């Protein structure tokens, strides 16, 4: 037995994804684009981008995961609450991605990963001790263990930003999915409060960290722990000048397009500071 609403979402997303493959102008108008959202205020992209995918593998992976976890959420919560969790997670995931990439004007993304993450974590919060078959890895895992692994991977991936996976959207969608599940079904806190805390504590701690210390997202090995002596103003200025010179050398040799989004962001910060 398959989820009714999950199947409908799959069909609609499949049609929109196909439209995006056949019409590049349509895809460009509806994908997640930082500048278009923040400057042109095209906020509809926070939702429309969730119905587009990069390729059919991306689509099948997302929709397969959605169907695997949809039935339990639909059965226990009902269709209206399911839709609130799905679209709330989609928007929440994209808002976190928008915050993290707010200075990366060239950042673009597409996919339903944030919404799917919200449904997956909602299902796990509802049934934390269920056994889940991980067909790809040919093994079974308890739901709460999978949730913890998911959160850790999403945090590490969002910080490193070294692949094309939207870990920030995953993390934001998962957190909103859990919060909405608790708000819509508060009775689960009587028995499953521990899994809610297990998911939300590390997630919220990471979000507070990157808000208070944004440099965490720019320095690969830095997690906000200042073990060394505080540098003098002169040392800080010399370090900034050295970093700026390295970036300018790279631009002279390979052009400004050779800079990554992080490097462009750093260049703007250094130009303002010096």
- Catalytic option among 113, 117, 122, 123: 113
Q: Are 25 and 39 in contact (CB under 8 A)?
A: no
Could you tell me which residues are beta bridge partners of residue 107?
none
List 132's β-bridge partners, or say none.
141
Alpha-carbon distance values, 50 to 14, 188, 209, 244 (Å):
11, 28, 27, 37
Distance of CA 65 to the CA centre of its chain: 16
Alpha helix positions (H), the chain = 4-22, 24-30, 34-38, 45-48, 56-77, 79-100, 113-126, 143-160, 167-184, 189-212, 233-254, 261-273
Q: Is 48 a catalytic residue?
A: no
Catalytic residue flag (residue 117): no
**Catalytic (active-site) positions:** 113, 170
């Amino acid at each position: 037995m398959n989820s009714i609403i999950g199947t409908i979402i799959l069909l609609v997303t499949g049609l929109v994804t196909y439209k995006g493959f056949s019409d590049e102008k349509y895809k460009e108008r509806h994908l997640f684009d930082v500048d278009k959202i923040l400057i042109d205020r095209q906020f509809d992209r926070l939702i429309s981008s969730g119905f587009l995918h990069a390729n059919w593998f991306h689509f099948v992976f997302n929709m397969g995961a959605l169907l695997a976890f949809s039935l339990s959420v639909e059965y226990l919560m009902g269709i209206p609450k399911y839709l609130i969790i799905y679209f709330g997670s989609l928007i929440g995931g994209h808002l976190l991605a928008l915050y993290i990439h707010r200075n990366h004007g060239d950042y673009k993304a597409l996919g339903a990963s944030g919404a799917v993450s919200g449904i997956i974590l909602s299902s796990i919060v509802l049934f934390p001790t269920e056994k889940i078959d991980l067909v790809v890895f040919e093994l079974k895992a308890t739901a709460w263990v999978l949730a913890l692994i998911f959160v850790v991977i999403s945090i590490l991936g969002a910080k490193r930003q070294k692949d094309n996976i939207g870990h920030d959207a995953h993390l934001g969608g998962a957190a909103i999915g859990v919060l909405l599940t608790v708000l819509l079904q508060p009775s689960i806190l009587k028995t499953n409060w521990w899994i809610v805390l297990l998911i939300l504590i590390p997630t919220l701690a990471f979000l507070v960290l990157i808000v208070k210390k944004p440099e965490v997202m720019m320095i690969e090995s830095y997690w906000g722990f200042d073990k060394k002596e505080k540098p003098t103003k002169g040392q800080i200025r010399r370090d900034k000048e050295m970093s700026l010179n390295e970036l300018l050398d790279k631009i002279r040799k390979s052009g400004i397009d050779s800079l990554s989004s992080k490097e462009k962001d750093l260049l703007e910060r250094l130009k303002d500071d010096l």
